[in-house]
Structure 1
Amino acid sequence: MNRASVEIVVARYKEDVSWLAETDYPAIIYDKGGDLVAVGGKCLKSLPNIGREGHTYFTHIIENYPVFPDYTIFLQGDPFFHTEKITAHEVFEQAAQKIAKNAKFFGFAWFKLRCDRLGRPHDMDDPKSKGKWKGWGKDIPVGEVFEKLFKRPSPEQFIASAPTGNFLVARERILTRPKSFYENALELILADPDDENNTGHAFERLWQVIFNGSTHINPPE
């Protein structure tokens, strides 16, 4: 059996990404901090600091569509913040196990999140986060973003299996959606570049829907 081809895509601001040395997988680091020079043979690309990790991920997909490896691992600059502080080695070992089992999508998080159309329950008004982004204290427009993406009524509840924005996805799942779908998603993010309306946060609750393999985007006739 041929070994699956894998690529890592990192959405980095000012985080220490030296953990990438723990893997032999090729990686592209999209740097939004402007202070990164080189990381051991990994590819560096610069992006403006807007739109959270969704801006990075959709930019990557659009620029490379339809040529992808068997699996793409999308990770934040510090993917361990939400994962009980497990090590990089454990994350990549977990990824290898899921790929060996032919998993099509997997979220790197120790929990699943159940929320309503407004992202509730959430901690967007956590005093410790006040001032970190313009959407602090507001609800998350999960239902609204869903409807703009899929052109059909939103469900009342969502179960997010990649709520930390860290996940792996098979090429076939990416290609289930046309390039225009991802271009539309990126436009939604560009319309809220500072996450004032929490559009970027909404995508963290929708990754499993975006990559669920369904071709059902438009409402039935």
Structure 2
Amino acid sequence: MDVVMGLVAYLPLLAINLLATATALQAGKSFLVPIDHAETEKDCDVHGNNASNMLGLLAMTCIAGLLSALKLRRSYASWPQYIFFALVVALLSSRDLAARYRPRWITMYDAVPSDPSDYSDATYVAPTPEDRKHALLRIMLIAVALPAAWLAYLTLNFSQHIHQKVVELQPILDLTYTPQTNTEIVISMYKEPSDQVAYLVSALRNMDNVGRDAKVHIYVKDMNANIEEIQQVTGANKVTALPNIGREGETYLKHILGNWDTLARETIFLQADVHNPREFYPRVRDYFVPGRTGMLSLGWSGQVCNCDTCGDRFGFRDTTYLFPEISNRINNAAKCDEVLLSYKGQFIASAKRIRGIDKSIYQDLHEAYVKQDSWAHQEEYLQGRPDSMDAPVFGYTMERMWNLIFQCNSMEIAWKCPTLLSGHRIGGNVEDCQCLDPKSDSHTLM
């Protein structure tokens, strides 16, 4: 049912797309990009149509840009993109103008010389006063409205905080805690091959910003696993066996609660089988800043929901209003507006962020996982969805809530952070995809 509701929300967009495609097919050409070419005398006026198409392209691009800029997640088109777009429009327009105003006998037969006198009997129809009036109005509209709209679009696009709908609260950080470890890698493992986990550990330790001295703690939820063999193969500092309950979310909460006073400066929370490995490693390498990273999601970025009615296009719905409840406990009744969701159960969080909220919040969330009679395993919450202790429905909620818990709710991330596939955007920096903690005197512990 939730999936169907998610699809229904996209029906208007699908309808517009269908209508645009049908119109283009019916016209036999794109109505955004001029592709006509004058090949006969009758086609000479097509160049005038191309000019109109160019103006249409400029207008539609501007309208789309304005709509994007006025929404929460704005366009992040850069100056080089605008310059190249303008260059292409200028080149295509100059080509059409040159073709339109060259002699008709050249236009008609470019490859075969022709006698201009052949066109001496051409008739000329003078424009009527009404035609001149309409032409003047069109010129005024193009000369005034279009530049004004583009000026507004560019102004909004490069304004960092204009039309910001969300008042972002300052994070509550534990600035008194002194960690004894720089970086720790926490891995939730089930039955994944040990050599696969060994590769994950080795690849991370070989990154300069993670370091070979990074500690590794593997939690194994396969009770038949050989703990000693896993530790030997992976080179982990510690391997802990856990009951197969709650997937990776319960593992992370267990680690936080069990290591509250020994948390590393930054902890990299991962599943043994990382999602999108081809993009995962570059994301860690390019965005993790030791001593500064507060919360860095290593999954999909940019998905936002309303705190009171949180849901997404994958069918998730916060039916028990847990998001506003947790937000209220963190921010003492401050309004919870928009929430930046996290995905894939892989992220980096600092001890400052983890310890910034009350420990009881983690305890209550952990109990929701491990207690079979908790609200997270009751029908009011499940609403017909299959649930078990080793595969709880609550795991999907927890997966999306880590940004909220670690107070990384910047809407700038929602529109600035590039996809995992693209990796970077022109003019971007490490702040695009994460919330940074205040600078400390030293980024490296002895």
Aligned-residue offset at 1:51: 0.9
Residue in 2 that maps onto 1:32: 221
Which deviations, in whole Å up to 9, do the C-alpha atoms of 1:106-163 show, x marking residues without a partner? 011243323453533115xxxxxxxxxxxxxxx4437633245345699575321x31
Distance 1:109 1:142 in 2: 23
Aligned to 1:208: 403
Q: Name the amino acid aligned to 2:279.
A: I
Structure 2: which 5+ residue stretches go unaligned? Answer: 1-180, 206-211, 378-388, 410-446
Name the structure where helix makes up a greater proportion of residues.
2
1:36-47 to 2 correspondences below 5 Å? 36=226, 37-38=229-230, 39-42=233-236, 43-47=238-242
Alignment match, 1:108: 298
CA contact (8 A) 2:189 2:220 kept: yes
Task: Give the C-alpha shift of residue 13 in structure 1.
Answer: 1.4
CA RMSD of aligned residues (A): 2.9
Is 1:17 aligned to residue 186 of structure 2? no
C-alpha contact 2:300 2:344 (8 A) present in aligned 1 = no
Identity %: 26
- Cα distance change of structure 1 residues 12 and 94 upon mapping to structure 2, 3 Å threshold: farther
- Whether the aligned pair in 1 keeps the contact of 2:302 and 2:340 (CA below 8 Å) is yes
Contact 2:340 2:404 survives alignment (8 Å): no
Which residue number in structure 2 is paired with residue 99 of structure 1? 290
Give the one of 141, 159, 167 matched to 2:340. Answer: 159
C-alpha distance 84-9 of structure 1, shift in aligned 2 (>3 A)? closer
Question: Secondary structure of 1:44's match?
Answer: strand
Deviations 1:171-218 (A, max 9, x none): 11111112212101101222343444x21110111101101179xxxx
Question: Which one-letter code corresponds to 2:222 in the other structure?
Answer: G
**Cα 1:170–1:212, aligned 2, differ >3 Å: closer, same or farther?**
same
Q: How does the TM-score come out when normalised to structure 1?
A: 0.73
Bigger mean CA offset, 25-34 vs 141-150 = 141-150
| Aligned positions, number | 190
Q: TM-score, normalised by structure 2?
A: 0.38
2:248 counterpart of 1:53: yes
**Inter-CA distance 153–170: structure 2 relative to 1 (3 Å threshold):** closer
Q: CA separation in 1, counterparts of 2:310 and 2:349? A: 26
Structure possessing the higher relative contact order (Cα contacts under 8 Å, 6 or more residues apart): 1
User: Using the alignment, how far apart are the partners of 1:87 and 1:120 within structure 2?
Assistant: 22
Whether the 8 Å contact between 1:142 and 1:206 is mirrored in structure 2 is no
Higher alpha-carbon Rg: 2
1:186, 1:45 → 2: CA distance?
A: 17
Runs of 4+ in structure 1 deviating by more than 6 angstroms, as ranges, are none
Going from structure 1 to structure 2, the CA distance change for 1:55 and 1:99 (only over 3 Å counts) comes to same
Unaligned runs of 5+ in 1: 124-138, 215-221
